[in-house]
Every structure is written in C-alpha cells, then in structure tokens.
Chains A and B, each alone.
Chain A
Amino acid sequence: MADWLLLHYKLPSEPSAPRVYVWRKLKRLGAVLFQDAVWVLPQNPRTLEQFQWLAAEIREMGGETALWQAQLTLKDSREELVREFQAQSDLAYAEILEQLDRPDPDLEGLSRQYQQLSQKDYFPSRMGQRAREALLSKRGGLS
C-alpha cells in the first residue's frame, strides 16, 4: 500500500460556500497543504475513505478533482513532510497548553478540543503527550 494520499481539486470561484466547505473539511481531517499545491494525508483505510468521499463531494459541487496514492522516493522529503504534520498539531496543542495555564481554564471545552485534535494527530508529537498530561493533572481528585 502506498504511504500517502494526494488530493488536488479545482472549484468554481463563485459561489464561495463550497470552497469554504471543502477547505474546512480538509483542515478538520488534518490534511497538510504541501507547497501550496496539493493536500496530503498519510494513507490508512480511514483517510482513504474520507478523501474518496471528499472527492465525490467536490464533483457533486461541480468541481474537478484527482486523488492519488503516492510514495515518496527521497527519504529526507518524507521527514520534511512528517515534520509539517507535527508542526501543525504542535501549534494546536500549544494553544491548549497556553489556555490551561490561565486562571480557571474551561477544562470541558479544552478536553473536547484535545480529543478532536488527537483524531488527526497522525504522527504523535511530544506536545500532544504534554497536553494530555496537563489536562489529566487538572482533573483533580485523589490519587
């Protein structure tokens, strides 16, 4: 099985709603926009299915799209790509950690945010582990 999925698409510039819809969905899936050219996800049965559905939706909305299964041939480009995924997650985890440091943080909201994030954290970063531990330590109670 190939390692990566690449999605490329074009939607009419008007109306803008479908473009916003697709962009948000890509962000929620945790896809990375590589070199402003193509959206990338690591391949597993779930990401493959999600990208297939998104491609079908783009066609339904009158757009053009292509979905590739791909393999990188240079080792360092794989590392660069993985770093991009991690940087994206780290940024969001850092936001949670920052909120947790403030007085009286919204623990329910932040743990929901953490759960959503962890579903698209494809290459688990240390920042994610820190956010998890910070949330758990705020849970309180007797240990």
Chain B
Amino acid sequence: MRRFADVFARRAMRVSAAVPGLIVLVILLALVGKSRTILGLKSFAGLLFGSSWHPLRGDFGFGPFLSGTLWVTLAAMVLAVPISILTAIYLSEYAPRRVRELAKPMIDLLAGIPSVVYGVWGVLIVVPFVGNVLAPAFGATSSGYSVLAAGIVLAVMVFPTIIHVSLEVFAAVPQSLREASLALGATNWETVRHVVLRKGLQGIIAAVVLGLSRAFGETMAVLMVVGNVARAPKSLFDPGATLPSLLANNYGEMLSIPLYDSALMLAALVLFGVVLVFNIAARIILVRVERRSE
C-alpha cells in the first residue's frame, strides 16, 4: 500500500510538472495555427515592416508597433540599467547588513505592485511631468502621452527584476576573491570594478536581458501612458504604440473584420517569440554563472 502511494505520488507529480511546459507548447501551436491564415496571404517581412496599419483597408503593417516597442523598451533600459546596477552594487558591496536586509523586501515589493497601479501613477504624475516640464525644457511640445512617459514608468517596473538578479549574481562571487583583492591593497571601488563586476559580468547581462523581456511584454501600464498612435515615433516626446498595447486595445475588434484576428495572433506570436528567446538566453547565461561559482 505504501509502495503504491509512493508510485502514485511520483507519477502525479511528474504529470503536474509537465503541465506548464505543455501549456507553453499549446499556446505556441495555437498562435501559429491562427497566424497561418494571414501568412498565407501576405509575406511575413511585409507584415513585420509594413508601415501602414489600416485593418479596414486590409493593411496590417506591424512596423509602427515594432518601432514603438523598441523605442519604449530602449528608453526604459537606458534609464533602468545604470540605476539598478549601481543600486545592486551599493546594496551588495557597501551597505551595512541592516540596510540591505531592509531594502531587499522593499525592492521585491515593487515587483508585486499590479501594473495598472503603475499605469495610474504614470497618468497622474509622469504624463504631466513629461508634458509640462521635460518637453518644454527640450523645446518640444508634447501632450505628455509619449514613448518617454512609457519608458519612465517601465524603468521603475524593471528595477526590481534587474536589482534582484544582480544581487544574486554578486552574492555568487566568492568572498575569497574580494579578500584577495583587498589584501593586495586595492580600494573597495577597485575591488568592485576589477573583481566583482568582471566576475559577474555575464550575470549582469542576464539580469538586463530579463529586465528587457519584462519591459518588452508589459501591457497595461504602457498602454495607459504611451498615447497609442499607430505611427512610428520620431522623438521621445512623440506618442507611439507597442505590440502588447495593439493586442490589448484591439482584441475586441478582431471578430468584426476578416483577417483581423489572424493579424493579432501573428502579433502575439512575434511578441511571444521575442520574449521566449530573451528569457531562454538569460536563463542559459545564469545557469552558467551559477555552475562556475560552485
């Protein structure tokens, strides 16, 4: 009887463990299946880089959305990466233990805030700030709903991801290396620069890539501040639209126009593919880092 329970438990757990993996596969297959309709009629490159989005006229160019996604993601990363990594270095190498123990849960808390809350904060604070302060300061006019506003909101949203992973990477750098460096007379900063950062470089790249994929796929917060104009932005103060916002805004129209649902599914597939590749790449790097430090 006990043996039976053991075998049963093992089987049940194996099946449940397979479920998440299978779900990814099922989603992927469903997206591919749905996108085939439009891919049978138009070339993939033409859809991906086409600059005109007018579903009623049969134009399904993702160009403006791809470009908007890249602008927003890039703006977010330029803001988030230096701040996050400096924060992680401070917490890991300089801060007293108590500060670190206090800061860590606070940062993780940031990760748990629902994205619509970030969106509301963006609309109330960031959008007016960009429209009334930043844009005039740079001699531009902007309503505030812009790729920059989305970038700022996103940057705050990816802080926890990058900081958290970087902290783990720094923790994996052997203490003996730091001690050796300090014993040779290196200052704290020299140790950070030549030992900790060099040893952790790959891990930091992985942290950034993870943050990148989070930024790339973020929907609600971006949708609320980005301005949703289906035209490639020319400056940071222009409104834009992203692939996730395209999906969230138009999911409802997909039954009213032929080919629309297929086009949206293709957009979802592109998004899914990019995020999947980012994530797998980051994981591979992280696993390598961990193995080496053992």
**A and B: real partners?**
no
